[in-house]
Structure formats: structure tokens, C-alpha cells
């Protein structure tokens, strides 16, 4: 694919292109990824997002990795949608701690129409602080997507999670096509797309290829691509999964960077269990976004003290 038109929205990747990248010698792969990274971004800057679970637990879906599904006994207490003021207070704290984007997540299959006014109010409040806004609320109707967009929502996160082929091994209550359908509505409403998935769920190498291929061939590719390493949750079907090898994880990041050179590639869940050296390799291989703070939605994240030390050592500025 080298030397082709750089207008990514029209480029179609072939499965064999992705297979070849996955099989490339590590040094070649990371070098190519780093080259493309610096052609498109400042390699010494990493974008910082902060998550908040605005509605936790009790979810009717059966995503096999998730602490928040009501189908599994994970010991997580369910709670109602947070008040607008409480969300605003958390966004203010996130801003003070250096986040530039605030991502609000709800454990729903879909939002209820009666919740839309409250959700739009939250978007407006967070935006008024000068933060970018992101929400992840499950499947949307076209009307709901338009309402969120009108309220000022910049990004909608909706992950494909894995390859189309492996999807129904992980989730049975909705299909891969349902996810694509919501992503189309998000685009049609004029919002930016945040879409990625999880590695370390027992998927085969060809599923990792199929997952990245599906993302890269979206037209256009997602602006933001979260790559999560599974946080194993006791009580879920995937609670005993073996952790993904660190080198394999870096490969995923590098291939994502090469396939989607203009997208933000986020080193998402799983930093808690990753060494500084593995994270440094991910940033070298083109990761340029993270979640900051002590917690993600329901699990832990390294937090400010550890992250400050890491980014100082790397000479990286969080933006
Ligand atoms: N309910 C909404 C949905 O599923 O779209 C939004 C919230 S859901 C928690 C957002 C994403 O977080 C999932 O699609 C999945 O990729 C990621 N995620 C959830 N649990 C995880 C875990 N234990 N480890 C890694 N990533 C996880
Ligand atoms: C994404 O891809 N990762 C974030 C965000 N999108 C919503 C969520 C990670 C959740 C990790 C498990 C937890 O904290 O419950
Ligand atoms: Fe519900 Fe989202 Fe968790 Fe799936 S990932 S169980 S939809 S909160």
C-alpha cells in the first residue's frame, strides 16, 4: 500500500495487507508505525481523556468481559443515572487534573428517551468548561444521535470490540451489525466516532486481523481508536482469561497506527497491568491517547502520580 494516495477515507485495506503487517519483524513494524506517527502528529504529545461512569451496573446486555452486566454475579452495585451537578463537579476535577476530553459512560443497552434531556444538559455543562465531550450509552436511534449532536457532543464511543467472526462468542444480546448501525447514525448526526475494542479475550490471531481490518475499512476510519487490554472481572465468562503478551499488544498498536495514520490510537484499559517499558513501546509505536485518573469506569487505572513519573521520564506532554 506504500506510495498510495494518503486520503484515508477512500483506501481499502486487504486482509493480506494486515496479515503481512502482523507478521512483519517487530523492528520494521514499529519503525514504520513511528514514521507515520510523526508525519501526522507530534510524537511527544499524548491526548488525555477522563472517564466517568454516569450510570453504573444492572445492564441487560451479556458482554462476556463486563463487570456491569446484570447477567453475571460480579459483586458490582448498580446505581441510577447521576445528577447533572455531580457530573459537572467530576468534569471540573478532570479538567483541573489535565484532561482535555471528558467521556461519560452508561451501562445501558440504549438510552431511554426520557433520559435525553438530562444527558444533553450534561453535554452542555461539560462543553461549557472548555472540555471535549464524549459519551458511550449503548445503541442510539437517529433522533437520539441528533439530540446529542445538537447539544454539542463531540465524540460517541461505540466499540466493535472484536472481529465480526468472534463477536458472537463474546456477546449474544446484540450483533456486530447492530453496532455498525449505531455508528452509522452517529456519523449521520455529524459526531466524531470513537470505536475500538478489546484484546486478550481468547481471540485467535486472525480475529485480531479481522478486528483491525473492520476498523480501518470504515469510511472514514474512526477519529479515535481505543485499544483495550481485557481487565479480567471475576464472575464474568472471561474472568479467567490469560493476559495478552506485551509484545503482541504493541504489535496491535503499531498495526492500528499504520492502518489509520490520522486517527488517535488510545492505549485504553489495561495500563494498570502494563509495565512502563511496554507503555513506552506503545507510544513509540504510535499510541497517542490515554485515559488519565485513578479509575476507568469500574476498574483501576494507574493514576496521576504514576503517570506523571512515566511521562516525565519519556519527555511526553499530556494534552
Ligand atoms: N454500555 C455501553 C456499550 O457497551 O457500548 C457503554 C459502556 S462499555 C463499558 C464501553 C466499552 O468498554 C466496551 O465496549 C468495551 O470495549 C470496554 N470494556 C468494558 N469492560 C471492559 C473490560 N473488563 N476490559 C476492557 N475493556 C472493557
Ligand atoms: C473504551 O474503549 N474503553 C473505556 C471507554 N471506551 C468507555 C472503558 C474501559 C472500561 C474498562 C473496564 C471498567 O472500568 O469497567
Ligand atoms: Fe452493558 Fe456496555 Fe457492559 Fe455490554 S459493555 S454489559 S452494553 S455496560
In order of their start, the domains of the chain are 14-308 (3.20.20.70)
Inform me whether the pLDDT recorded for 1 exceeds 90.
Answer: no
pLDDT class of 11 with cuts at 50, 70, 90: confident
Q: What integer best gives the mean pLDDT of the chain?
A: 96
**Residue 238 CB–ligand 3 contact under 6 Å:** no
Using pLDDT thresholds of 50, 70 and 90, give the confidence band for residue 276.
Answer: very high
Atom 2, ligand 3: residue with shortest CA distance? 107
- Residue 10 confidence class, pLDDT cut points 50, 70, 90: low
Which of 194, 208, 251, 271 is the catalytic position?
Answer: 194
Per annotation, catalytic residue among 50, 59, 195, 257: 59
HEC assignment per residue over 251-304: HHHHHHHHHCCCCEEEECCCHHHCCHHHHHHHHHCCCCEEEECCECCCCECCCH
Assess whether 194 carries a catalytic annotation. Answer: yes
Is the predicted pLDDT of residue 155 greater than 50, yes or no?
yes
Q: Is the CB of 307 under 6 A from ligand 3?
A: no
pLDDT > 80? residue 97: yes
Nearest atom (ligand 1) to Cα of 161: 16
Strands in 25-73 per DSSP E: 45-55
Q: Is 266 a catalytic residue?
A: yes
Record the pTM. 0.96
Is 226 in contact with 266 (CB distance < 8 Å)? yes
103 is catalytic: yes
Active site residue 195: no
Ligand 1 neighbour 138 (Cβ under 6 A): yes
Contacts of 233 (CB under 8 A, 6+ apart): 65, 66, 67, 72, 74, 239, 299
Over 60: is that where the pLDDT of 185 sits?
yes
231 lines ligand 3 (CB under 6 A): no
Amino acid at each position: 500500500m506504500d506510495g498510495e494516495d494518503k486520503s484515508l477515507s477512500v483506501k481499502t485495506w486487504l486482509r493480506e495487507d494486515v496479515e503481512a503487517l502482523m507478521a512483519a519483524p517487530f523492528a520494521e513494524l514499529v519503525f514504520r508505525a513511528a514514521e507515520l506517527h510523526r508525519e501526522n502528529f507530534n510524537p511527544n504529545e499524548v491526548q488525555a481523556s477522563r472517564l466517568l461512569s454516569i450510570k453504573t451496573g444492572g445492564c441487560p446486555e451479556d458482554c462476556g468481559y463486563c463487570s456491569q452486566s446484570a447477567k453475571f454475579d460480579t459483586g458490582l452495585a448498580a446505581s441510577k443515572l447521576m445528577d447533572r451537578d455531580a457530573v459537572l463537579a467530576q468534569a471540573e476535577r478532570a479538567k483541573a487534573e489535565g484532561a482535555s476530553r471528558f467521556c461519560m459512560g452508561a451501562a445501558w443497552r440504549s438510552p431511554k428517551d426520557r433520559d435525553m434531556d438530562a444527558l444533553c444538559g450534561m453535554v452542555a455543562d461539560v462543553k461549557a468548561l472548555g472540555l471535549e465531550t464524549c459519551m458511550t450509552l449503548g445503541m442510539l436511534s437517529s433522533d437520539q444521535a441528533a439530540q446529542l449532536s445538537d447539544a454539542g457532543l463531540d465524540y460517541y464511543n461505540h466499540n466493535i470490540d472484536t472481529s465480526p467472526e468472534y463477536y458472537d462468542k463474546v456477546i449474544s444480546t446484540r450483533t456486530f451489525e447492530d453496532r455498525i448501525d449505531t455508528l452509522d447514525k452517529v456519523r449521520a448526526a455529524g459526531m466524531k466516532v470513537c470505536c475500538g475494542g478489546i484484546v486478550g479475550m481468547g481471540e485467535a490471531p486472525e480475529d485480531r486481523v479481522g478486528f483491525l481490518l473492520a476498523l480501518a475499512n470504515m469510511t472514514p476510519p474512526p477519529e479515535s481508536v481505543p485499544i483495550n487490554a481485557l481487565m479480567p472481572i471475576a464472575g464474568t465468562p472471561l474472568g479467567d482469561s490469560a493476559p495478552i503478551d506485551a509484545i503482541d499488544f504493541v504489535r496491535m498498536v503499531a498495526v492500528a497506527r499504520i492502518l489509520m495514520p490520522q486517527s488517535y490510537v488510545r492505549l485504553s484499559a489495561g495500563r494498570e497491568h502494563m509495565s512502563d517499558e511496554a507503555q513506552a513501546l506503545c507510544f513509540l509505536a504510535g499510541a497517542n491517547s490515554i485515559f488519565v485518573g485513578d479509575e476507568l469506569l469500574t476498574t483501576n487505572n494507574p493514576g496521576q502520580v504514576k503517570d506523571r513519573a512515566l511521562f516525565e521520564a519519556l519527555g511526553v506532554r499530556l494534552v
